[in-house]
Amino acid sequence: MKKFSLISLVSFLFISPLFAHAQATIIQDKAEVVKAQVVHITKEENRIIPGTDTPGTFQTIQAKILEGTQTGKVVTFTDDYLNLAKGEIFYLNHTTEGQSGIEMYGEMDVYRIPTILLFTFIFVALVLLIGGIQGLRGLLSLIGSLLLITFVLLPGILHGYPPVLVSIAVSSVIIVLGSYITHGFNKTTSSAVLGMIITVLFTAGLAFWAVHMGKFTGQGSDEAVYLILNSRGHIDVIGILLGGIMIGVLGVLYDVSIGQAISVEELHHIAPHIPRSKIYTRAIRIGREHIGALVNTLAIAYVGASLPLLLLFYQTDSSISQVMSREVFASEIIRTLVGSIGLVMAVPITTFLAVIMLVKVQKTNDTEVIHKEAEALKHAEHHH
């Protein structure tokens, strides 16, 4: 027995370093995504997708790699996803197994940059043609907003800063820069900017209340789950949900606030003798019409973005309350409601600030001014 134990110990001491070395020398798989072009479709057929009863189109494709370490190489693989055409450019997933060295190829996605560039050109051309200098300012504002989101908002969240605070800060900068670039530095723009910032803060507080009251986890989408896994749980997905609500409402909020500030300015310009209270009442009347259109637009936009998901759940036997309570739907409903409440509140907030900042109190007797205007109108009618 002792002899057996000694032999076992010696064997273990001898084999263990070899086993540890084998573990240390495990080679990881290599993967790269490169552009490729379809050279030839050697076979195409319709058959049932394995594991389902859904028919699909399967293609055997020969493609030429256009970049990377294997530029110029022609490879063959089966495509059951993109339904490519001869000459079409797409992204190819090239994987090399670390242990065996076996190379595998598969379709990744279509190369859509030409389509994006075409419609970007059409958009820019129409904005400049119809919008003129104001359209150019709007484009500059848009570029600035995208740069702030790309180089400030996203890196800030990924580096661990609180998503809510980062979103509020970036939203405020976008509001200030975008407004002054597009509409110039004046009291009208300043009143709209102040109204938007107050509304964003109000919306942030409302969103925080709604998210915590509804016990949202922020994990209602596949993207959020992947983000948690990629960041090893260091990303505050609830904060991202809150920040997304604020960023999402910015565009429509901008429209509402600028519209209200300009309405106040024009009303005061046309009738400078009208007191602030009446200017406020008339501007609110304009804002109500704006609200009716924008709230509906915001809700329909969210429905359009979630249409495939809505159709998927519509086919199930779940009740309406069950479907609405699922986080993937409830989060969009809360996003729409909180955003709409923010838009509604932007009207009285911005209008009040615009009236205070833009309307100058006239010392002239209102009754006297109105009487003179009525006499002038009668004179004009009599003259005709």
Spans of all domains in the chain: 30-111, 134-360
Give the separation between CA 68 and CA 93, rounded to whole angstroms: 11
Give me the CATH topology for the region 134-360. Multidrug efflux transporter AcrB transmembrane fold (1.20.1640)
> Averaged over 101-114, what is the pLDDT?
89
Is pLDDT above 90 for 74?
Answer: yes
Lowest pLDDT segment from 26-30, 208-212, 378-382 = 378-382
Cα–Cα distance, 263 to 248 (Å, whole number)? 24
Q: Which candidate, 241, 242, 213, 223, places its Cα nearest to that of 309?
A: 223
What is residue 112's predicted lDDT score, i.e. its pLDDT?
A: 93
Question: pLDDT digit string (tens) for 237-295?
Answer: 888 888 888 888 887 888 889 999 999 999 998 888 888 999 999 999 999 888 877 77
Can you name the residues that pair with 89 across neighbouring β-strands? 37
Nearest CA among 58, 57, 59, 56 for reference residue 42: 59
Cα Rg of the chain, angstroms: 31
Looking at residue 266, its pLDDT comes to 92
| 357 half-sphere exposure, CB direction, 13 A CA radius | 20
Q: Are 65 and 92 in contact (CB under 8 A)?
A: yes
Average pLDDT, the chain: 82
pLDDT at 225: 79
DSSP secondary structure letter of residue 362: P
Residues 336, 249 contacting (CB under 8 angstroms): no
Q: How far apart are CA 341 and CA 7, in angstroms?
A: 78
Q: Which of 73-77, 88-92, 146-150, 252-256 comes out lowest in average pLDDT?
A: 252-256
pLDDT value at residue 251: 74
The dihedrals phi and psi of 106, each to the nearest 5 degrees, come to -160, 155
**pLDDT computed for residue 120 by the predictor:** 94
- Give me the architecture of the 30-111 domain, per CATH: Beta Barrel (2.40)
Whether 30-111 shares its CATH topology with 134-360 is answered no
* pLDDT score for 114: 93
